[in-house]
């Protein structure tokens, strides 16, 4: 009997050892398979952990190693920045799943042991502006943080701002938006650096377009991503098709038929145009000197061309309660210095344009600062796809030119009941096989000259679908300046606000010039699922019991039942 028990016990021990060996083997096998076959299941509604097809395709096609230095590393980081740090790390890991060894990333503590001046001197020349973070507790402290990544590829580098700062958003909403844009920002930087050659774009001159200190920041920023040329539209027989896109910005002189023909044929041959055109002339220097000005129609002679392409820029001014302020004299200083006392008042002719569209160009974008913008009407033509990118707010209206614009209006607060004409388009994307405005208008002799002598035959329509963007304000890509030099595009010095003018400009040209762009990744929208603070306060004890008390009670009930039935079982055997 004893030998039988011993034999049975040894058999059980062998079976237990075999089970243990099999379990260890299965765990090792699963880990080996997981190293080669990484399968993820994204169960989130907005697919926050899934990369867009354009991003995955770009990562798989990398030929060189992209090194990403992330400067979100340091001691005593606030919880929000820790969250952004972890989100950036997870996004780069997901990049590595598709690119393999072609993605290398490091998290760098860039501020340790350095003075504030040393930090500014190191990062500002690279296009990275440190953020001064104030923490309030038992002891208030200031800490410089670099919310940037620096992407290196093929001997070039590009800074990427990881933290979104949007007007009117809470810190939690800004961090949430920053997380949603990580794929686009990091992927776009790698994509731009991996392109064998930068696209070529041209800034068109010849009709009074501004060029100098007021366009310095925009053109300098574009030159980092594109080969930027300035071309005189009066020179040459045609606009070279080597340019992926051209910019027609704030012309002040009428276009003649020769100039319009060059622009038209550039479009017919597949070229893309970013039109940024003022319909009404409001000389700001005269307004500041005299206090008033009569705003008149520019009459640029572009109406027939733009109408053929699908839009009409109206000779009017958009007036909007959602606007930037302007300084106005309200009296004299109380210190007997004789200096005027200034105050900021809303200036309805400087509307802040907030995008309502989900198009990748403007989705998740902050407001765009405009000055003396006009409304745009779209033509009823089913063959032309029209997408409104920017428009006025719910509380807006338009005033047709000629119109008297006076600074005395700043003395009176705008009344909501006077702005009952909402949502006027100011920027429109057009997509179609555009037809030429010169179709059936040219003499046969000129057509032969184009074909035989110039080797540039007239095209009556685009061979394939083309796109262009029409904006009824040329000031959107302009920058202010002071005694220190040019300021950033979209920066309003009276309120120190940074608007999204530069992002809008870059996204427009990215869409027009790069058919393989990963711009669709900008459409990713992560939803904030915040707790109802009022309900939390009211039902706090109930949910504490549900989350803490019920699990403990469940464990105790299970343990009691287990002991009870085990005891009953062995009592019966005995």
In this prediction, residues 354-379 reach a mean pLDDT of 90
Per-residue tokens: 296: 């008149």
**pLDDT value for 564:** 78
Q: In the sheet that 403-406 helps form, which strands lie side by side, from edge to edge?
A: 280-281, 292-297, 403-406
Higher pLDDT among residues 432 and 6, named by residue: 432
In this prediction, residues 531-543 reach a mean pLDDT of 71
Q: What are phi and psi of 568, to 5 degrees?
A: -60, -40
Q: String of b and e for 211-234 (b: at least 16 CB within 10 Å)?
A: eeebbbbbbebbeebbebeebebe
Distance (Å) of CA 556 to CA 260, 294, 402, 541, 552: 84, 83, 82, 21, 6
Mean pLDDT for all residues in the chain: 85
In this prediction, residues 201-206 reach a mean pLDDT of 96
In this prediction, residues 366-371 reach a mean pLDDT of 93
* Integer Cα distance of 353 and 418 in angstroms: 19
**pLDDT value for 140:** 57
- Give all strands (DSSP E) within 237-308, no chain letters: 245-249, 272-276, 280-281, 292-297
**pLDDT value for 286:** 87
Tens of pLDDT, residue by residue over 465-522, are: 999 999 999 999 999 998 888 999 999 988 888 899 999 999 999 999 987 677 777 6
Higher pLDDT among residues 528 and 191, named by residue: 191
pLDDT for residue 301 is more than 90? yes
In this prediction, residues 348-357 reach a mean pLDDT of 90
In this prediction, residues 361-365 reach a mean pLDDT of 86
In this prediction, residues 318-327 reach a mean pLDDT of 92
Tens of pLDDT, residue by residue over 376-390, are: 999 999 999 999 999
| Rounded (5°) CA angle 419-421-427 | 115
* Integer Cα distance of 473 and 314 in angstroms: 12
Q: What are phi and psi of 314, to 5 degrees?
A: -80, 145
Distance (Å) of CA 557 to CA 3, 487, 551, 554, 561: 41, 69, 10, 5, 6
User: Which region among 216-225, 233-242, 276-285, 321-330 has the lowest average model confidence (pLDDT)?
Assistant: 321-330
CA of residue 474 relative to chain centroid, distance: 20
DSSP string, 222-253: HHHHSEEEEEETTSSSS--TT-SEEEEE---S
Strand, coil or helix: what is 194?
Answer: helix
Bridge partners, 369 (sequence order): 352
Per-residue tokens: 493: 């010095």
Higher pLDDT among residues 36 and 248, named by residue: 248
Place of tokens 């319909």: 279
Residue 155 confidence class, pLDDT cut points 50, 70, 90: confident
Per-residue tokens: 196: 């064998």
**pLDDT value for 54:** 83
**pLDDT value for 548:** 85
| Rounded (5°) CA angle 277-278-283 | 145
* Integer Cα distance of 497 and 366 in angstroms: 11
* Integer Cα distance of 397 and 376 in angstroms: 13
**pLDDT value for 10:** 74
Per-residue tokens: 100: 């393999």
- Residue 73 contacts residue 109 (beta carbons within 8 Å): yes
Q: Which residues contact 162 (CB under 8 A, 6 or more apart)?
A: 70, 72, 84, 88, 147, 148, 149, 178, 182, 185
- Residue 454 contacts residue 237 (beta carbons within 8 Å): yes
Strand, coil or helix: what is 475?
Answer: helix
Q: Which domains does the chain have, with CATH numbers?
A: 53-193 (3.40.30), 200-523 (no CATH)
Could you tell me what percent of the chain has a pLDDT over 90? 40
* Integer Cα distance of 354 and 424 in angstroms: 11
Strand, coil or helix: what is 391?
Answer: strand
- Residue 528 contacts residue 173 (beta carbons within 8 Å): yes
Which of 209, 259, 266, 248 shows the shortest CA–CA distance to 458?
Answer: 266
pLDDT for residue 139 is more than 60? no
DSSP string, 176-199: HHHHHTHHHHHHHHHHHHHSSSPP
**pLDDT value for 44:** 57
**Using CA of residue 269, residue 273, residue 279, residue 280, what is the dihedral sign?**
negative
**pLDDT value for 177:** 78
* Integer Cα distance of 408 and 506 in angstroms: 36
Residue 365 confidence class, pLDDT cut points 50, 70, 90: confident
* Integer Cα distance of 389 and 504 in angstroms: 10
Tens of pLDDT, residue by residue over 266-295, are: 999 999 999 999 999 998 888 888 888 999
Per-residue tokens: 508: 């427009």
Which range of 173-177, 190-194, 269-273, 331-335 scores highest in mean pLDDT? It is 269-273
Tens of pLDDT, residue by residue over 69-126, are: 998 877 667 777 788 888 899 999 989 988 888 999 999 887 777 888 888 888 888 8
Q: Is the peptide bond before 402 cis (omega within 30 degrees of 0)?
A: yes
Strand, coil or helix: what is 386?
Answer: strand
User: Which region among 169-178, 213-222, 223-232, 261-270 has the lowest average model confidence (pLDDT)?
Assistant: 169-178
**pLDDT value for 472:** 96
pLDDT for residue 30 is more than 70? yes
Q: Are strands 272-276 and 245-249 parallel, antiparallel or unpaired?
A: parallel
Strand, coil or helix: what is 97?
Answer: helix
CA atoms within 13 A on the CB side of 223: 10
Helical residues (DSSP H) of 37-78, grouped into ranges: 53-60
pLDDT for residue 234 is more than 60? yes
Higher pLDDT among residues 442 and 429, named by residue: 429
Distance (Å) of CA 159 to CA 177, 187, 386: 19, 12, 34
**Using CA of residue 499, residue 505, residue 506, residue 508, what is the dihedral sign?**
positive
Higher pLDDT among residues 306 and 543, named by residue: 306
Place of tokens 């509604």: 45
**pLDDT value for 545:** 81
What's the pTM value of the predicted model, to 2 decimals? Answer: 0.79
* Integer Cα distance of 119 and 143 in angstroms: 11
pLDDT for residue 231 is more than 90? yes
**pLDDT value for 25:** 85
Q: Which residues contact 480 (CB under 8 A, 6 or more apart)?
A: 214, 486, 487, 491, 492, 493
């Amino acid at each position: 009997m004893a030998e039988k028990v011993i034999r049975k016990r040894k058999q059980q021990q062998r079976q237990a050892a075999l089970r243990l060996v099999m379990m260890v083997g299965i765990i090792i096998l699963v880990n080996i398979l997981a190293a080669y076959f990484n399968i993820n299941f994204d169960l989130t509604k907005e697919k926050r952990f899934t990369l867009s097809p354009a991003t995955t395709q770009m990562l798989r096609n990398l030929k060189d190693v992209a090194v990403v230095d992330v400067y979100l590393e340091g001691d005593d980081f606030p919880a929000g920045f820790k969250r952004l740090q972890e989100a950036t790390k997870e996004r780069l890991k997901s990049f590595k799943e598709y690119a393999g060894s072609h993605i290398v990333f490091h998290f760098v503590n860039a501020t340790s042991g350095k003075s504030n001046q040393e930090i500014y001197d190191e990062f500002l020349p690279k296009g990275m502006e440190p953020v001064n973070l104030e923490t309030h507790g038992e002891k208030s402290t200031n800490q410089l943080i670099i919310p940037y990544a620096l992407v290196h590829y093929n001997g070039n580098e590009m800074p990427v701002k990881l933290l979104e700062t949007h007007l009117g958003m809470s810190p939690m909403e800004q961090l949430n938006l920053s997380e949603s844009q990580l794929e686009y920002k990091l992927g776009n930087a790698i994509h731009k650096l991996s392109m064998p050659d930068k696209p070529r774009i041209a800034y068109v001159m010849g009709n009074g377009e501004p060029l100098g200190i007021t366009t310095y920041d925009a053109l300098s920023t574009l030159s980092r991503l594109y080969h930027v040329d300035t071309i005189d539209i009066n020179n040459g027989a045609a606009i070279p098709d080597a340019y992926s896109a051209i910019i027609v910005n704030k012309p002040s002189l009428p276009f003649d038929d020769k100039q319009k023909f060059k622009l038209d044929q550039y479009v017919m041959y597949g070229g893309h145009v970013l039109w940024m055109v003022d319909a009404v002339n409001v000389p700001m220097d005269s307004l500041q000197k005299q206090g008033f000005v009569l705003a008149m129609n520019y009459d640029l002679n572009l109406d027939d061309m733009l109408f053929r392409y699908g839009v009409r820029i109206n000779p009017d001014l958009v007036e909007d309660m959602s606007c930037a302020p302007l300084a106005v004299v309200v009296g004299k200083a109380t210190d007997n210095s004789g200096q005027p006392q200034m105050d900021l008042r809303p200036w309805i002719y400087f509307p802040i344009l907030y995008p309502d569209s989900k198009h990748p160009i403007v989705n998740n974008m902050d407001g765009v600062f405009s000055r003396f913008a006009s409304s745009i009407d779209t033509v009823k033509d089913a063959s032309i796809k029209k997408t409104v990118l920017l428009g006025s707010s719910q509380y807006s209206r338009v005033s047709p030119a000629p119109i008297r614009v006076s600074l005395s209006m700043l003395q009176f607060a705008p009344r909501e009941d006077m702005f009952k004409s909402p949502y006027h388009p100011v920027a429109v994307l057009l997509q179609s096989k555009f037809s030429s405005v010169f179709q059936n208008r040219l003499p046969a002799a000129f057509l032969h000259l184009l074909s035989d002598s110039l080797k540039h035959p007239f095209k009556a329509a685009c061979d394939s679908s083309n796109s262009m963007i029409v904006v009824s304000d040329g000031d959107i890509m302009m920058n202010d300046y002071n005694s220190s030099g040019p300021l950033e595009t979209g920066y309003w010095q009276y309120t120190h606000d940074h608007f999204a003018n530069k992002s809008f400009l870059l996204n427009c040209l990215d869409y027009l010039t790069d058919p393989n762009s990963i711009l669709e990744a900008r459409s990713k929208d992560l939803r904030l699922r915040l707790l109802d603070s009022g309900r939390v306060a009211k039902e706090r004890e109930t949910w504490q019991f549900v989350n803490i008390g019920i699990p403990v009670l469940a464990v105790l009930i299970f343990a009691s039942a287990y002991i009870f039935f085990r005891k009953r079982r062995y009592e019966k055997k005995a």
